[in-house]
Amino acid sequence: MLLYNSLTRQKETFVPNAPGKVAMYTCGPTVYHFAHIGNLRSYIMEDVLEKSLRYFGYEVNRVMNITDVGHLTSDADTGEDKMLKGAKREHKTVMEIARYYTDAFFADCEKLKIRRPDTVVPATSCVPDFIRMVSGLIEKGYAYLSEGNVYFDTSKLERYYVFHDFKEEDLAEGVREGVEKDLAKRNKTDFVLWFTKSKFEDQELKWDSPWGVGYPGWHIECSAIASKYLGERLDIHCGGIDNAFPHHTNEIAQSEAYLGHKWCNWWFHVLHLNDQSGKMSKSKGAFLTVSLLEEKGYSPLAYRLFCLGSHYRRTLTFSFENLDNAQATYDRLVSRVAALPEDGPLDREKMDACRAAFREALSNDLNTSLALTALYDVLKSDLSGAAKRALVAEFDEVLSLGLLDAARAAKEKESAGPAADAADPFVAHILERIEARKAAKAQKNYAEADAIRAALAAEGVTLTDTPQGTKFTVGEAK
Ligand code: AMP
Ligand code: ZN
């Protein structure tokens, strides 16, 4: 598999440290608010990467942290803890906020068919591990104590800026927006490993440490959790592109200084989802969530399809017009799959050719839009219904669009008629009125039966009595 590596800035043949096994780490969400659909773009594309690796036969062990402490509103270690900000906003405790938004995150993931990582670790469960790593960095001469905080000393590194995509001058502290100067640092790029002092003294969660009561920095969480659960060498580390600097850069600095060798071979970064006004972000206040899309009548899997339609290394712009197109494509896909006959021969040779196109697309740096083309080509081909179904099921192990399930549900609904919609309050109301009319007629109360028919007609519902029972159609309310 060819996979772009942000470290080397090129596509390379993916080779894991141990043959056939992949140690994969993902930066998890900061659980102070709902995930927006931009965050979820990153998790969808990381999910496709994980499933592609599994499809190609690798055994993947994936670990994700949950950031429930230490992620500040400013990259320069001077802001307020985002969790505390969320707790204040909702008049709850930090742990209540963390639990609520962690559950909400995984509920969204389930709707989007994002597989739950093998291990999910809240940062607050690993504080002794952070303290051990910070102590180790001090012992090795890579960290120092200054004005109550422990800092990583970036001047001790041969090379700090590892991701070539950035120009050093653009990253320098003070150039980025909202970054204040921290006078306790020896070097402008040094960062906090452990806080005991910050402008925000009301930090809710604090732990005892050799340097005083305090809390960990955000970056140390991922370094320590990754090593604890995946060992000293990672194959792939994932995250959205905004995490490349300073978060991932600092993770590499800490981990390699502590371990004394190269830590992670591949860095997989997903580019942003933008809205019309730029990058979608939680701090902007108004942002789109999966629930909001559902409220507007979109299916979460149509959003997944929208994401798969473009390459993960391209910025993707969201608009409802684009989502309408994705929803229409998704619905068409489902009805085509629903219309497939169940049986027919399995032409191995032709199926292998379709499979090859799909594999080729994924193995060329996860070209999901070509992988979708391979799926459409299967549906257009002259393969039998059974062969098409088998390939749809196989490709959906990676794409996770839930096509066969959605097709089955669509067919069941069609054969059950309007009763299948009984969950819809309006349909439930009509069905209840039809029953009331039937009861009135049985009691020879024809005036009541006619009044029910007239009342429904005023709501745009036309009743037709047939030998199979009363059917209805819904038009414009009068
Ligand atoms: P956070 O919850 O802020 O820690 O972010 C969770 C993940 O979403 C990280 O991998 C971020 O890099 C990623 N992310 C944040 N904003 C966006 C966006 N607009 N588009 C895609 N990914 C994003
Ligand atoms: Zn991280």
Q: Model confidence over 393-408: pLDDT tens digits? A: 999 999 999 999 999 9
pLDDT score, position 165: 58
How far is it, in rounded angstroms, from Cα 35 to Cα 409? 28
How far is it, in rounded angstroms, from Cα 343 to Cα 70? 56
327-371 confidence digits (pLDDT tens) = 999 999 999 999 999 999 999 999 999 999 999 999 999 999 999
Instruction: Report whether the peptide linkage leading into residue 246 is cis, meaning its omega lies within 30 degrees of zero.
Output: yes
How far is it, in rounded angstroms, from Cα 42 to Cα 112? 12
State if residue 331 touches ligand 1 by the CB under 6 angstroms criterion: no
Phi-psi group of 450: left, alpha or beta (phi > 0 → left; psi -120 to 50 → alpha; rest → beta): alpha
User: What distance in angstroms lies between residue 325's CA and the mean position of ligand 1's atoms?
Assistant: 24
Asked whether the predicted pLDDT for residue 198 surpasses 80, the reply is: no
How far is it, in rounded angstroms, from Cα 24 to Cα 230? 8
User: Residue 238: beta bridge partners?
Assistant: 26, 268
In the structure encoding, which two tokens stand for residue 230, read together? 């995946």
List, in order, residues 6 or more apart from 200 with CB less than 8 Å away. 79, 80, 81, 84
Helix axes 368-380 and 320-338, enclosed angle (nearest 10):
40
Helix, strand, or coil (residue 30): strand
State if residue 29 touches ligand 1 by the CB under 6 angstroms criterion: yes
Tally of CA atoms within 13 A in the half-sphere of 242 that contains its CB: 12
- Using the atom order of ligand 1, give the atom closest to the CA of residue 26: 10
In the structure encoding, which two tokens stand for residue 372, read together? 């979708």
Asked whether the predicted pLDDT for residue 14 surpasses 90, the reply is: yes
For atom 12 of ligand 1, the residue with the nearest CA is: 240
Mean pLDDT of 135-159: 96
258-296 confidence digits (pLDDT tens) = 999 999 999 999 999 998 877 787 776 678 999 999 999
Classified by CATH at the fold level, domain 278-416 comes out as Four Helix Bundle (Hemerythrin (Met), subunit A) (1.20.120)
How far is it, in rounded angstroms, from Cα 22 to Cα 46? 14
- Residues 34/71, Cβ–Cβ less than 8 Å: no
Identity (one letter) of the amino acid at 89? Answer: R
Asked whether the predicted pLDDT for residue 126 surpasses 70, the reply is: yes
Asked whether the predicted pLDDT for residue 215 surpasses 80, the reply is: yes
- Residues 123/311, Cβ–Cβ less than 8 Å: no
Residue tagged 């930066």 (tokens): 27
User: What distance in angstroms lies between residue 2's CA and the mean position of ligand 1's atoms?
Assistant: 24
State if residue 94 touches ligand 1 by the CB under 6 angstroms criterion: no
Helix, strand, or coil (residue 473): strand
State if residue 28 touches ligand 1 by the CB under 6 angstroms criterion: no
422-454 confidence digits (pLDDT tens) = 677 888 889 899 999 999 999 999 999 999 999
- Residues 394/383, Cβ–Cβ less than 8 Å: no
pLDDT score, position 94: 86
Mean pLDDT of 116-121: 98
Asked whether the predicted pLDDT for residue 166 surpasses 70, the reply is: no
49-88 confidence digits (pLDDT tens) = 999 999 999 999 999 999 988 788 877 777 888 888 888 8
pLDDT score, position 128: 98
State if residue 27 touches ligand 1 by the CB under 6 angstroms criterion: yes
Give yes or no on whether 2-270 and 278-416 have one common fold: no
| Extents of the domains making up the chain | 2-270, 278-416, 425-474
State if residue 313 touches ligand 1 by the CB under 6 angstroms criterion: no
Least confident of 94-98, 196-200, 249-253: 196-200
Q: Phi and psi dihedrals of 251, rounded to 5?
A: -60, -45
Architecture category of domain 2-270 in CATH: 3-Layer(aba) Sandwich (3.40)
pLDDT score, position 464: 87
- Using the atom order of ligand 1, give the atom closest to the CA of residue 271: 21
User: How many residues are recorded in the chain?
Assistant: 478
State if residue 65 touches ligand 1 by the CB under 6 angstroms criterion: no
Least confident of 113-122, 159-168, 425-434, 461-470: 159-168
For atom 22 of ligand 1, the residue with the nearest CA is: 39
Q: Phi and psi dihedrals of 154, rounded to 5?
A: -70, -15
pLDDT score, position 174: 45
371-392 confidence digits (pLDDT tens) = 999 999 999 999 999 999 999 9
Q: Where are the alpha helices (DSSP H) in 172-230?
A: 218-230
pLDDT score, position 175: 46
Nearest CA to 331 out of 311, 349, 305, 307 is that of 305
User: What distance in angstroms lies between residue 395's CA and the mean position of ligand 2's atoms?
Assistant: 30
How far is it, in rounded angstroms, from Cα 396 to Cα 402? 7
